[in-house]
Amino acid sequence: MIFIGIALLVAVGLALLISADAGSLVGMTQQQTAQLVPLLVLLVVFAGGLFTRRRKASELLGSVVLWVGIFAIAGLTYAYRDEIVGIAGRVAGEFRPGVALVDASQGTATFRRGMGGHFEVNATVNGHTTPMIFDTGASAVVLTLDDAEAAGIDTSNLDFTIPVSTANGTGRAARVRLEQIEVGGIVRERVVAFVTEAEALETSLLGMTFLETLSRYSVTQNSLELAD
């Protein structure tokens, strides 16, 4: 029963800590109520000890230390929540470089440099997730033939007459207009793109027809930031 009471009080305390807009409760402010919860925990522990003769003083003290530690960790987590989210995002970015760390309040999406030295970007083209390489040298968004077909583009009627230079040499591409492309929460519609012939390109490219619509983009040693 003691631990059930403590658990309920901990849940209330955490809810008050996490919810910044909880307002007042029974005439007290959120801060006053949160400060009261640890005192109630101590009261539950010691009151339980009075009615439970089997419980030793050392066990009661251990319980107090445990729950004080839990509240301390919860408080520190809340106080440094922004830093923790940033660190978690950076760690996730190292293992999944194509996934963006999105800051909706700033309208930015940040990507980590991949193991190959490129900035890999997971874009959504016409509702289909397409891995791309950030490339300011590409005059447009460029899709491989497979990625274009996966995005629902009818490639059978495309006219591959535009010469393009790729890592595999010179190839040809067709001009298309994407219904929608989304990168890290940044959405653009009716974006001009190229579709290359089969095997002309290994990976699709996030080029200037998307990048020039952004308010800015910046590259540091290991990160790429796109701003809506």
103 has pLDDT over 60 = yes
Tell me the CATH number of domain 96-227, given options 3.30.56.10, 2.40.70.10, 2.60.120.260, 3.40.50.2020: 2.40.70.10
At which residue do the structure tokens 């490219």 appear? Answer: 205
> What average pLDDT does the segment 148-163 reach?
91
Report d(CA 81, CA 163) in Å as an integer: 50
Burial 178-193 (b: 16+ CB within 10 A, else e): beebbbbebebeebeb
- Tokens representing 207 are 């080029």
Name the more confident of 141 and 168.
141
Instruction: Tell me if the pTM is above 0.85.
Output: no
Residues facing 115 on adjacent strands: none
Report d(CA 159, CA 176) in Å as an integer: 10
Question: What's 222's DSSP letter?
Answer: S
pLDDT at 101: 82
HSE-CB of 162 using CA atoms within 13 angstroms: 15
75 has pLDDT over 80 = no
Asked whether 6 and 67 are in contact (CB, 8 A), the reply is: yes
Report d(CA 118, CA 111) in Å as an integer: 10
> What average pLDDT does the segment 30-40 reach?
55
**Alpha helices in the chain, H assignment, sequence order:** 2-18, 30-51, 57-79, 81-95, 145-150, 208-211
pLDDT tens for residues 159-194?
899 888 766 667 889 999 999 999 999 999 999 999
Report d(CA 22, CA 11) in Å as an integer: 14
Residue 20: pLDDT band with limits 50, 70, 90? very low
pLDDT at 36: 56
pLDDT at 58: 66
Query: Domain limits of the chain?
Result: 2-79, 96-227
Share of the chain above pLDDT 70, in %: 59
pLDDT at 118: 83
